[in-house]
Structure 1
Amino acid sequence: MLTFGENQKILFELKKRYFIRLSYKGTNYHGWQIQPNASSVQEELNKALSTILNQPINVVGCGRTDTGVHASDFMAHFEVDENCRFDCGKLAFKLNRFLPHDIAIREVFRVKADAHTRFDAISRTYHYKITKHKNPFRMESHWKNQHELNVSKMNEAAKILFEYIDFTSFSKLHTDVKTNNCRISKAEWTETDDELVFTIKADRFLRNMVRAIVGTLIEVGRGKMDLAGFREVIESKNRSNAGSSVPGHGLFLAKIEYPDGLRIEDE
């Protein structure tokens, strides 16, 4: 009798797995994940792939994004039977013709049978974009902030994040994750004449974490919270002590990184 592991290996060998690198503007979607009575990026991609490949396809994403949140670099994977043949470049071309204008396929490539876009990711990078002035071309991609901000203080506070790994204070309540620990490797604000961008990179993120961190850093920038207070928020492990979450439309998933060796050459 075959063991569970042996059965799983056989199933893997009967399937081929592919990664899809895509970008999307989240304005018209209730996030990545399929949900009842609401449009989602996952649903659009499932429909397009199922139609083109003429078989039921269910893509698995590298994570979930909330309503209105964008992704300039998002990864998903799907499986097909071993005997299913297609050219990855041509599939990407067909998907781009089939999908709505606000979803763009950048690349399709074959990976090892057990590669997983969510669990194999080693880091994620997000950008949060703020416009300083009313700009009709940024209404759906930037949050307009009307307050004067001390960006230097906000960067000092951002550095404090590196000292901690438990970010319960910035997590959405009542989630089903096993741990609220994350290792942040980058957190900084950059500024131009009319734009502020917060960049944050970590091995993983909690639900609503980036938007809550940005909202709390805004409190520091406005002078409503000092650096000691920001540290106390983290140490309290209490979401109610942190600032309000900023709106989703300024948030971008900007980069996903994976270990070497997942990609394989297709026939």
Structure 2
Amino acid sequence: MRYFLHLGYDGSLYHGWQVQPNTLTVQRELDRCLSQVLRQPVYSLGSGRTDSGVHASHQVAHFDAEIPDTLDPETLLYRLNRALPRDIRVYAVHPVPDKANARFDAEARTYEYHVRLVPDPFTPAHALYLDRAPDLVAMNQAAGYLLGSRDFTSFSKVKGGEKHYVCVCYEAGWREVPGGLIFRIRANRFVRGMVRLVVGTLLTVGRGKLTPEEFKQILDDQSRIAASGAAPANGLFLARVEYPPELVPTEQLPAGMPYFVSR
């Protein structure tokens, strides 16, 4: 039977989501613990890859397994979270149709990038610290050019392996939070390295080294060499993965899950 598993993780110690030879990854640890708890080989497939050092507040993976009727969902979650490292937590597990796919059935994904403007010894692993506030108005003007169906070749890694670089961006913008800023971007899909390159170039706008119109020109030119460097991985979170309600009913998700799952 197929199941969807909802989880979050601190990516600081991991070389990304996807299994790699002789390397610690989130997927490797999840598969190891699922196999241990269920006493059968289990292999998961995530909604998308996160790079080395990137976090997830809400990631979704599917896996196939025979779970005995005697193992209720609460006990399964308890045993999984006991087995997993403390920086990986599972929120919910629920059955889905056999052909459901965590990657291809996702309708939208949201990433958030966290910036701190106040020194804080407790957040360096989870936010980029800036000692000077960037121009929020200019950055939001530039971010507005990302909306709609756009080709993101300019903001993709050279060897991303994608068949095309067109994404439909539904939301992109910065907002102030106590002590810092958060950039949120929501789209139907993301190409490899896209969010960190977008953030890095928007911060260049915020420092006054690019105008919003020059940012738009970089996007329109579809040239990777024009974009600024990528923002550091530590501030980036995969924050929400959305599915059709018939696939992931709201009642399947516990009230204690992070706010962005049920918004």
Q: Same fold (TM over 0.5)?
A: yes
Moved over 6 A (4+): none
Report the counterpart of residue 185 of structure 1 in structure 2. 170
Report the counterpart of residue 147 of structure 2 in structure 1. 162
Q: How does 1:2-17 map to 2 (within 5 A)?
A: 16-17=1-2
Once residues 171 and 224 of structure 1 are traced to their aligned partners in structure 2, the CA distance between those partners, rounded to angstroms, is 21
1:110–1:263 CA contact under 8 A, matched in 2:
no
Deviations along 1:188-207, whole A, 9 cap, x unmatched? Answer: 10113521100000000011
Tell me how far 1:263 sits from its aligned partner: 4.8
Once residues 255 and 63 of structure 1 are traced to their aligned partners in structure 2, the CA distance between those partners, rounded to angstroms, is 11
Secondary structure in structure 1 of the residue aligned to 2:167:
coil
Once residues 120 and 22 of structure 2 are traced to their aligned partners in structure 1, the CA distance between those partners, rounded to angstroms, is 32
Deviations along 1:170-199, whole A, 9 cap, x unmatched? Answer: 011122211100000001101135211000
Once residues 223 and 106 of structure 2 are traced to their aligned partners in structure 1, the CA distance between those partners, rounded to angstroms, is 28
1:123–1:203 CA contact under 8 A, matched in 2:
yes
Match of 2:52 among 52, 59, 67: 67
Match of 2:79 among 94, 119, 131: 94
- The answer to whether the aligner puts 1:39 opposite 2:21 as a matched pair is no
Once residues 248 and 241 of structure 2 are traced to their aligned partners in structure 1, the CA distance between those partners, rounded to angstroms, is 15
Once residues 116 and 248 of structure 2 are traced to their aligned partners in structure 1, the CA distance between those partners, rounded to angstroms, is 38
Max radius of gyration: which structure? 1
Tell me how far 1:134 sits from its aligned partner: 2.3
Q: Which amino acid aligns with 2:217?
A: E
Tell me how far 1:147 sits from its aligned partner: 3.6
Task: Calculate the aligned-residue CA RMSD, in Å.
Answer: 1.7
Once residues 111 and 196 of structure 1 are traced to their aligned partners in structure 2, the CA distance between those partners, rounded to angstroms, is 37
Sequence identity of aligned pairs in percent? 43
Change (3 A) 1:108 1:163: closer
Once residues 68 and 151 of structure 2 are traced to their aligned partners in structure 1, the CA distance between those partners, rounded to angstroms, is 45
Once residues 29 and 95 of structure 1 are traced to their aligned partners in structure 2, the CA distance between those partners, rounded to angstroms, is 19
Report the counterpart of residue 256 of structure 2 in structure 1. none
Once residues 205 and 100 of structure 1 are traced to their aligned partners in structure 2, the CA distance between those partners, rounded to angstroms, is 28
TM-score norm. by structure 2 comes to 0.91
Report the counterpart of residue 153 of structure 1 in structure 2. 138
Once residues 198 and 206 of structure 2 are traced to their aligned partners in structure 1, the CA distance between those partners, rounded to angstroms, is 12
1:112–1:263 CA contact under 8 A, matched in 2:
no
The answer for unaligned runs of 5 or more in structure 2 is 253-263
Once residues 241 and 24 of structure 2 are traced to their aligned partners in structure 1, the CA distance between those partners, rounded to angstroms, is 24
- The answer to whether the aligner puts 1:214 opposite 2:199 as a matched pair is yes
Once residues 195 and 216 of structure 2 are traced to their aligned partners in structure 1, the CA distance between those partners, rounded to angstroms, is 16
- The answer to whether the aligner puts 1:197 opposite 2:210 as a matched pair is no
Report the counterpart of residue 244 of structure 1 in structure 2. 229
Q: How many residue pairs end up in the alignment?
A: 250
Once residues 189 and 91 of structure 2 are traced to their aligned partners in structure 1, the CA distance between those partners, rounded to angstroms, is 23
TM-score norm. by structure 1 comes to 0.90
Secondary structure in structure 2 of the residue aligned to 1:119:
coil
Tell me how far 1:120 sits from its aligned partner: 0.3
